[in-house]
Amino acid sequence: MVARGSPTSTPTGRSALHADRTDRCLRRLGLNGWLVTIGFAQDSAKRDIQEMHRLNQDPKAYIAMLDDPARQVHQKPNEVISALRLKEGEVIADIGAGSGYFAFRLARHVGDAGRVYAVDVSTEMIAHLNRRIRELKMKNVVTILATPDEPLLAHATIDRFFICDTWHHIENHDRYLGLLNKMLKPRWQVVMIDFKKVETPLGPPMKMRIDRDDVVKEMEMNGFSLEAEHTFLPYQYFLVFKVK
């Protein structure tokens, strides 16, 4: 039997009041800590989006980021080109060509008989690409100033669409895929490379990313089937689709 007033007895009076206040304080701290964590995540995402907008408004900074030699570590451009097994004479459309990071590499592999359409919606990127074409004396790269919802290419003229880190910027996917389907030659491909919807050291904010499975589903719903998948990129999925 426990005596009254013993240290193990149930607290009463001021002791009980103190215990209740302590408990409520700890619960508030836990809730506030959770809210601080959410607030930090939201602030971080907001900063990521603001940084993307800042880069898009500063063409020189954006080009420098795209062409940064350190990008090769995760982008593995030589391995990507090798995996595509390009043939001389192919006609490729690089959607969201940006600085030409992939466009010029693709052009070297399709040869003088082939062609690469470097498609972008930014006049600054197109101007930069045209300067690089002149400097490199590339005869098989053609720039296309497109609109956000239209690549502005002729029907049945493209062997492959190459879309790297651009799909999450395009809004009406169904309409866009319908256009790509018409512009592709029969039995040819759409190549999709974009950031996985998981935390990675770099890439767009999580809310802008599109999950790999969702890309496969929307492609299948719009007349394409997954033909190949490469998994050597650490932060991105690399999917190859063909017209059904």
Which stretches of 123-239 are DSSP H helices?
Answer: 123-136, 173-183, 212-221
What global pTM score does this model have?
0.78
The maximal CA–CA distance of the chain, rounded, in angstroms, is: 99
Parse the chain into domains and list their residue ranges: 20-57, 72-243
Quickly name the fold that domain 72-243 has: Rossmann fold (3.40.50)
Note the pLDDT tens digit of each residue in 153-164: 999 999 999 999
Note the pLDDT tens digit of each residue in 204-221: 999 999 999 999 999 999
Smallest CA-to-CA distance from 236 within 98, 73, 57 is with 73
Pairing state between β 141-145 and 224-230: unpaired
Note the pLDDT tens digit of each residue in 66-123: 899 999 999 999 999 999 999 999 999 999 999 999 999 999 999 999 999 999 999 9
Burial class (CB in 10 A: 0-12, 13-18, 19+), 160: buried
